């Protein structure tokens, strides 16, 4: 198992008011899965993702990640797990402005000990080639389209070769065609063996994944396998053909 969670709870204290963001979540996610987490705003999706990604700690419950017990580790050990095992992708890309594509992607490699700057560069170029941006190495974020910026963010998430990719609303800021392109990339990465967990509001996007977990009020209310996920590459080809027709 990549992720095993048992009766996970997270309570935030806001002054005197308790917000129960997670109220007893139990689930496990296996190696090679492609999971989407859905649910209304405030249902606890990001809270759950942040705990899975060791960005936050639960109030109670058990959590293990790739044979580690994050609950028993200090901040430094958690940071090291994040850097080695997890890649994050966010809705707002979170790239460093006025900094080239290549430098943005190199950054997480520099946090690792014993990697030369030459090797960091080599890995960053390889990750950017993987997401189809090998010709945009010296662009800065505002010279790239939204879809390209998200690809840079995905390359940055991949550069340390994590087993697990966590994406919180990765297509939330993108138009539908670009969203499907990003889903094609996630499907490809999943086929190559990456475990992917993605939060989305859009039912159409969830249909590209292999399993849909639905949350409500801090609880999992359904957990469903998708036998025949849609193929994003096929949908893109169909879209491109129909867009071509419109212009002819």
Ligand X SMILES: Nc1ncnc2c1ncn2[C@@H]1O[C@H](COP(=O)(O)OP(=O)(O)OP(=O)(O)O)[C@@H](O)[C@H]1O
Which CB atom, from 21 or from 165, has the smaller least distance to ligand X?
21
Smallest distance from ligand X to CB 57, Å? 12
Which of 39, 53, 87, 170 binds ligand X (CB under 6 A)? It is 39
Stretch of 13-21, 57-65, 159-167, 181-189 lying at the interface with ligand X (CB under 6 A): 13-21
- Our finding on whether 72 is near ligand X (CB under 6 A) is no
Distance CA 242, CA 68 (A): 48
Assess 46 for contact with Mg ion (CB under 5 A): yes
43 binds ligand X (CB under 6 A): yes
**Closest approach of ligand X to the CB of residue 211, in Å:** 18
41 binds ligand X (CB under 6 A): yes
Among 47, 104, 160, 187, binds ligand X (CB under 6 A): 47
Check residue 21 for interaction with ligand X (CB under 6 A): yes
Identify which of residues 37 and 185 has a Cβ nearer to ligand X in the complex.
Answer: 37
- Give the interface size with ligand X as a residue count (CB under 6 A): 12
From Mg ion, ligand X, none, interface partner of 12 (C-beta below 5 to 8 A by class): ligand X
Residue with tokens 């997401």: 131
From the CB of 12, what's the least distance to ligand X, in Å?
3
Contacts to ligand X by CB under 6 A = 12, 14, 19, 21, 39, 41-47
Contacts to Mg ion by CB under 5 A = 46
């Amino acid at each position: 198992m990549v992720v095993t969670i048992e009766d996970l709870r997270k309570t935030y204290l806001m002054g005197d008011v308790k917000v129960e963001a997670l109220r007893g979540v139990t689930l496990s996610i296996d190696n090679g899965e492609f999971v989407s987490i859905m649910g209304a705003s405030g249902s606890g999706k990001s809270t759950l993702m942040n705990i899975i990604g060791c960005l936050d700690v639960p109030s109670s419950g058990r959590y293990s990640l790739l044979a580690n017990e994050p609950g028993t580790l200090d901040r430094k050990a958690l940071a090291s797990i994040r850097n080695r095992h997890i890649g994050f992708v966010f809705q707002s890309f979170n790239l460093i402005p006025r900094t080239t594509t290549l430098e943005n992607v190199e950054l997480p490699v520099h946090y690792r000990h014993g990697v030369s700057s030459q090797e960091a560069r080599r890995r960053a170029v390889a990750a950017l080639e993987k997401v189809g941006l090998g010709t945009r190495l010296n662009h800065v974020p505002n010279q790239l389209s939204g879809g390209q910026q998200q690809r840079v963010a995905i390359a940055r998430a991949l550069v340390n070769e994590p087993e697990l990719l966590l994406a919180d609303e990765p297509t939330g800021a993108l138009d539908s065609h670009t969203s499907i392109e990003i889903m094609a990339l996630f499907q490809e990465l999943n086929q190559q063996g990456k475990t992917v967990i993605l939060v989305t509001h859009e039912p159409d996007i969830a249909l590209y994944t292999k399993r849909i977990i639905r949350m409500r009020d801090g609880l999992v209310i359904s957990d469903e396998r998708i036998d025949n996920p849609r193929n994003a590459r096929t949908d893109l080809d169909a879209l491109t053909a129909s867009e071509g027709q419109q212009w002819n």
